[in-house]
Amino acid sequence: MHTLTSEFLPQPEETLGEYVRRLRGLKRLSQEQLAQGCGLHLQSIGKIERGLTTRLSQKAKRGLAQVLGVPVAYLEAAVRGTGVEVSQALKLCLCCWTPGTVPELGWLDPRAKFCFLCGGVLCDRCPGCSHPITSEQYRFCPMCGQSYRDGKHKA
C-alpha cells in the first residue's frame, strides 16, 4: 500500500469506471494486470471502466481495493458518485489492526463507531497529535512519530 493522498480519493461526480481507470493509470497497470491481480475477468474490468457495470460484488470490491491500494470505502463512494473526506476516509481499531494490512471492511463503514471484533472505539486520528491517519501502511504517525498502538486513542 501507499500513503493515501488526495489523488487516490474518488472525486465528487466521478463514476466508478472513471475512478478505476484513473487509479489503474496512476499505478501504471494494464487492464490485464489489474484483472489478474484482483481475480476478475479481463472483460469485467473493461465493463467496469466503460461504465457498463455500476455495482460490484464483495469479491470484486476487495480485489480491486487490494490491487489499486485503496480502502473499499473509496470504491463504494465512487459507486455512489460522492467524494470522500480524508478525515473519515480511514478508521481503525488500534487494538485489533495490524499495521501494513488492509483494514477490516466493517471499520470503513461511515456509520461505524466501534470495532465489531473487540468493541473498542474506532480511531481516525493519531492519539498523540490528532493528525488524520491517512495510510494503513505505517506503524507511526508521520507528524509526531508516536506509534499508533501506544497510549489511549480517541474517536
Q: What is the pLDDT of residues 30-76, one digit of tens each?
A: 999 999 999 999 999 999 999 998 888 989 998 998 899 888 888 88
| Residue 150: per-residue pLDDT | 65
Domain count, the chain: 2
* Residues 110, 59 within the same domain: no
Q: Which residue has better confidence, 46 or 137?
A: 46
Is pLDDT of 20 > 90?
yes
- Rounded to whole angstroms, how far apart are CA atoms 39 and 123? 31
Of the three residues 57, 80, 103, the one that is the final residue of a domain is 80
Residue-range definition of the domain harbouring residue 64 = 6-80
pTM of the model: 0.57
Task: Give the domain-ending residue among 62, 80, 98.
Answer: 80
Q: Is residue 92 part of a domain?
A: yes
Q: Are residues 105 and 56 in the same domain?
A: no
